[in-house]
């Protein structure tokens, strides 16, 4: 029994370590890092810094950039003029007017020469040769020869690509998953489908088929694991499924995606929330409203922003600003609450609220970035 208890404690402690999250904050003009209790784990000491990625955070010392580890010590010495965040174990750094990739130990990755270098994301980086774009792997070798006129941001392992005026989609191995034959295409690959436009008609691309939507003049990306997405017809918005069928007829002035079975919709200038049957479950009363995060909270606005739960109860009063377009994390679809905390701005500065509506550490900062995993 003692052995079992010891193993359980070890497992819990290991999980805690793996789940560590730090946030970059600025206080008295210096940058440092806090944990999710609000306590400093790296005291404010840097003139400039960036959030952690792949266990490293960029920091400025004596006008040169390097990278620190979670103890706050430089593990890649400050010798660079500019640096980017790590992704897929690699980061772009600028030294002697030359961009190059380094790994988390500072070792340089050998790659083919290029006129321009791009950040890695989801295990690949764009590679340009002349006017064409291909894909570079984390081993420094080309995965895809420069073939396309454009390759956009990878999301869920897929990216939209273009040849001439037409668009399709590839995966991170460079394989075509949607043929390049659409006038428009969504930028997010979901199991429920991707919207597209072909021969002037909007529809949903699903399981290799293009399913036209009757008279749609705009369609939006599927969100999360929802089987419905929103679309507009003659200045009204409704919801369609993967087959391109109108499940909820377009009668709303505006709408956003379903999450947790609820979607924000506007009637006139007031926003409320409907369920997937089209029943209004939170009456229109807000000047603006966003989708629910996975923890069951949504940003809503009167004169300023606050948060409600799925019952419509205000958890955090509508007294705050929230960062631009809710773009808390690069590539993240979460808006508002991220991993149990919401970042907000008041006249006192930036801070974080938890799900109980309490200000983390009862403290405001000059700047505050999202919490990110450091393991």
Does residue 12 surpass a pLDDT of 90? Answer: no
**Residues 102 and 52 grouped into a single domain:** yes
Helix and strand counts by DSSP (H, E) for the chain: 1, 39
Are 64 and 98 members of one domain? yes
Q: What is the pLDDT of residues 323-354, one digit of tens each?
A: 643 333 333 344 588 888 999 999 999 999 99
**pLDDT reported for residue 328:** 32
Q: What is the model's pLDDT at position 269?
A: 96
pLDDT value at position 4? 44
Q: Is residue 132 part of a domain?
A: yes
**Domain match, 132 and 182 both:** yes
- Answer whether residue 54 is part of any domain: yes
The pair of structure tokens assigned to 284 is: 């229109």
60 with 93, same domain: the answer is yes
Is the pLDDT at 229 greater than 80? The verdict is yes
Check whether residue 59 and residue 88 sit in a common domain. Answer: yes
Mean pLDDT of 224-241: 97
Number of separate domains in the chain = 2
DSSP 8-state symbol, 8: H
Question: What distance in Å separates the CA atoms of residue 265 and residue 315, rounded to the nearest whole number?
Answer: 20
Q: What is the pLDDT of residues 265-311, one digit of tens each?
A: 999 999 999 999 999 999 999 999 999 999 999 999 999 999 999 99
What is the reported pLDDT for 237? 98
Mean pLDDT of 114-128: 95
In the prediction, which pLDDT does 69 show? 97
The 10s digit of each residue's pLDDT in 139-169 is 999 999 999 999 999 999 999 999 999 999 9
pLDDT band at 174 (very low <50, low <70, confident <90, very high): very high
For residue 148, is it within any domain? Answer: yes
Q: Where is the domain boundary, 63, 82, 109?
A: 109
Q: Which pLDDT score, from 0 to 100, does residue 322 have?
A: 84
| In a domain? residue 185 | yes
CB environment 30-55: b (16+ within 10 A), e (fewer): ebbbbbbebebbbebebeebbbbbbb
**Residue percentage of the chain with pLDDT more than 90:** 89
The whole-number pLDDT of residue 331 equals 35
Tell me whether residue 374 is in a domain. no
Report whether 238 contacts 251 (CB < 8 A). yes
pLDDT at residue 336, rounded to an integer:
80
Predicted TM-score (pTM) of the model is 0.88
Please state, in angstroms and rounded to a whole number, the distance separating the CA atoms of residues 70 and 319: 34
In a domain, 56, yes or no: yes
In a domain, 278, yes or no: no
Is 234 a residue whose pLDDT tops 70? yes
pLDDT score, position 335: 55
CATH number of the domain at 96, please. Answer: 2.40.10
pLDDT at 115 (0 to 100): 85
The verdict on 180 and 139 lying in the same domain is yes
Token pair listed for 115: 């006129």
Q: Is the pLDDT of residue 5 over 50?
A: no
Give the per-residue pLDDT at 250: 98
Residue-level pLDDT at 338: 84
Last residue of a domain, one of 189, 221, 238: 189
Q: What is the mean pLDDT of residues 182-211?
A: 97
Last residue of a domain, one of 189, 216, 235: 189
User: pLDDT value at position 11?
Assistant: 44
Structure tokens belonging to residue 44: 């404010």
Q: Which of 3, 19, 5 is nearest to 375 (CA)?
A: 19
Q: Does residue 17 carry a pLDDT above 80?
A: no
Average pLDDT of every residue of the chain: 92
The per-residue pLDDT for 19 is: 60
Task: Give the model's pLDDT for residue 61.
Answer: 96
Segments forming the whole domain that contains residue 96: 48-109
Does a structural domain hold residue 272? no
């Amino acid at each position: 029994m003692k052995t079992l208890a010891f193993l359980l404690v070890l497992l819990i402690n290991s999980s805690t370590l793996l789940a560590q999250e730090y946030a970059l904050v600025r206080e008295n003009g210096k940058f440092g890092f806090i944990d999710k209790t609000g306590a400093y784990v790296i005291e404010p000491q840097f003139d400039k810094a960036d959030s952690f990625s792949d266990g490293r955070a960029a920091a400025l010392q004596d006008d040169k950039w390097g990278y620190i580890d979670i103890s706050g010590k430089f593990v890649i010495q400050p010798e660079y003029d500019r640096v980017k965040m790590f992704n897929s174990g690699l980061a772009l750094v600028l030294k002697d007017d030359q961009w190059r990739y380094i790994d988390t130990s500072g070792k340089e990755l050998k790659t083919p020469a290029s006129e321009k270098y791009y950040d890695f994301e989801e295990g690949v980086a764009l590679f340009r040769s002349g006017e064409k774009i291909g894909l570079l792997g984390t081993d420094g070798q080309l995965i895809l020869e420069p073939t396309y006129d454009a390759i956009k941001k990878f999301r869920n392992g897929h990216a939209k690509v273009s040849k001439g005026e037409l668009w399709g989609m590839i995966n991170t191995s460079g394989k075509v998953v949607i043929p390049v034959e659409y006038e428009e295409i969504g930028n997010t690959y979901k199991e429920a489908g991707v919207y597209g436009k072909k021969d002037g008609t909007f529809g949903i691309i699903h399981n290799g088929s293009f399913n036209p939507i009757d008279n749609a003049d705009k369609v939006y990306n599927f969100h999360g694991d929802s089987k419905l997405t929103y679309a507009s017809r003659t200045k009204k918005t409704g919801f369609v499924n993967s087959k391109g069928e109108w499940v909820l007829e377009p009668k709303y002035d505006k709408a956003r995606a379903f999450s947790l079975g609820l979607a924000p919709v506007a009637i006139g200038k007031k926003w409320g929330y409907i369920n997937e049957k089209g029943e209004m479950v939170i009456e229109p009363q807000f000047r603006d409203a966003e989708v629910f995060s996975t923890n069951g909270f949504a940003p809503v606005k009167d004169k300023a922003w606050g948060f409600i739960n799925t019952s419509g109860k205000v958890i955090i009063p509508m007294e705050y600003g929230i960062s631009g377009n809710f773009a808390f994390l690069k590539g993240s679809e979460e808006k508002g609450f991220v991993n149990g905390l919401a970042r907000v701005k008041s006249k006192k500065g930036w801070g974080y609220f938890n799900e109980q509506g309490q200000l983390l550490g009862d403290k405001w900062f000059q700047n505050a970035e999202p919490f990110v995993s450091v393991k």
